[in-house]
A and B are shown apart, each in its own frame.
Chain A
Amino acid sequence: MTGQEPPKNPSGNDDPPPPDTGMGMTAVAYLITGMLVWGGVGLLVDHWVGTKGIFAGIGAVVGIGGGVYLIVRRLGA
């Protein structure tokens, strides 16, 4: 670790766009939260209407779709 030299020209602002290492985690978070949020809303609708999980299923699928769309928009080039 002797090669830990300070980067040249410190405290300059936004020169090169940094390679985003946290992307994978963000993508996974979008997928899971998409499913949970709209699946949860679907579950509530199920309770309200009295069905046995059809809306939860629809919600989960829609939520994953939203998650994928978000990943494309936010993380895609």
Chain B
Amino acid sequence: MAGQLSVLAAEVPFPPTVEDFYLPSIVPWGAHNDYWFTKITLLMWISVAAIIIFFLVSYRKPKLVPTKKQWIAESIYGFVRNNIAVDMLGKRGINFAPYLTTLFIFILIMNFWAIVPLAQISPNSHIAFPAILAAISYVMFIYIGMKHHGGLKYFKHALIPPAPWFILPLLIPIEFFSTFLVRPFSLAVRLFANMFAGHMLLLVFTLGGFALINANVWFAPFSVVSWAMSIALTFLEFLVICLQAYVFTVLSASYVQGALADEH
């Protein structure tokens, strides 16, 4: 057992680097200049397919007394609609419930790959995925705001707070930064950084176990501690996964709410 492990450990690179996030190409197999299809791509396709198929199948013949699948699908939708959309947007939150549910379930499934055995990396640990999701929410809340307030009046509403004129030069740059620059950035980076750090943490403790066993006979017992730690951190990851999916959805709803808000 120990012999096998040290053979394994000889090939294990430690410490993990950012390079570990760039996985080898699958199609064409092992190519070094063609990365259009990697494990990341595969996981995303599987997520999308799984979500579409699950919701189609569970709603194909809706029953008044729901089957188990239908109950799960309705619970997910009902949770987002009641606890996020309606809670934050009031009655008109119903109109945004489909978008928010799609966002929530997509991020949840994409994040979940971080702790699925054999997959164990989330596509969201690449900034591109959160960035696109944030861009969609960003464009949407601006569009909603412009539609609700009427074109440029939205920007007037968003940028000019109710304040005496002589403080406005101080306040308008702050409003501009916090609404139109920080929001999309923080939305994307929060999700990305959480998934990136989570993957990195699991790598450190898993690979660290091998590194310890490889380094010195006296360190070998501590590798067990390291692996136990990585199991514990996997449970922590599960918490982070759900929390980040929820936070992203809640903040998207909150931005829409801000765009729809009237002067008070």
Contact = CB atoms under 8 A, between A and B. Distances in A.
A25 B182 CA distance: 12
Contacts of B91: 7, 9-15
A67 interface: yes
Contacts of B255: 22
Interface in B170-213: 170-171, 173-175, 177-178, 182-183, 186
A70 B254 contact: no
A27 to B, nearest CB: 10
Interface in A1-32: 1-2, 4-7, 9-22, 25-26, 29-30, 32
A4 B79 contact: yes
Contacts of B175: 70
Interface in B80-134: 81-82, 86-95
Contact of B78 (A1, A29, A63): A1
Contacts of B151: none
A13 B263 CA distance: 16
B260 to A, nearest CB: 8
Contacts of B253: 22
Contacts of A37: 173-174, 177
Contacts of A1: 75, 78-79
Majority-rule SS of B interface residues: helix
Contact of A22 (B71, B86, B178, B250): B250
A37 B118 CA distance: 45
A5 B167 CA distance: 47
**Residue with the greatest number of chain A CB neighbours at <10 A, chosen from B94, B173, B178:** B178
B26 to A, nearest CB: 38
A9 to B, nearest CB: 7
B161 A4 contact: no
Contacts of B250: 21-22
B173 to A, nearest CB: 5
Interface of B: 71, 74-75, 77-79, 81-82, 86-95, 161-163, 167, 170-171, 173-175, 177-178, 182-183, 186, 250-251, 253-255, 257-258, 262
Interface of A: 1-2, 4-7, 9-22, 25-26, 29-30, 32-34, 36-38, 41, 62-63, 66-67, 69-70, 73-74
29 contacts: A1-B78, A4-B75, A4-B79, A4-B82, A7-B86, A10-B91, A11-B91, A11-B92, A14-B92, A14-B262, A18-B87, A18-B89, A19-B87, A19-B88, A22-B253, A22-B254, A25-B254, A26-B258, A29-B183, A29-B186, A33-B182, A34-B178, A41-B173, A63-B174, A66-B171, A69-B163, A70-B161, A73-B161, A73-B162
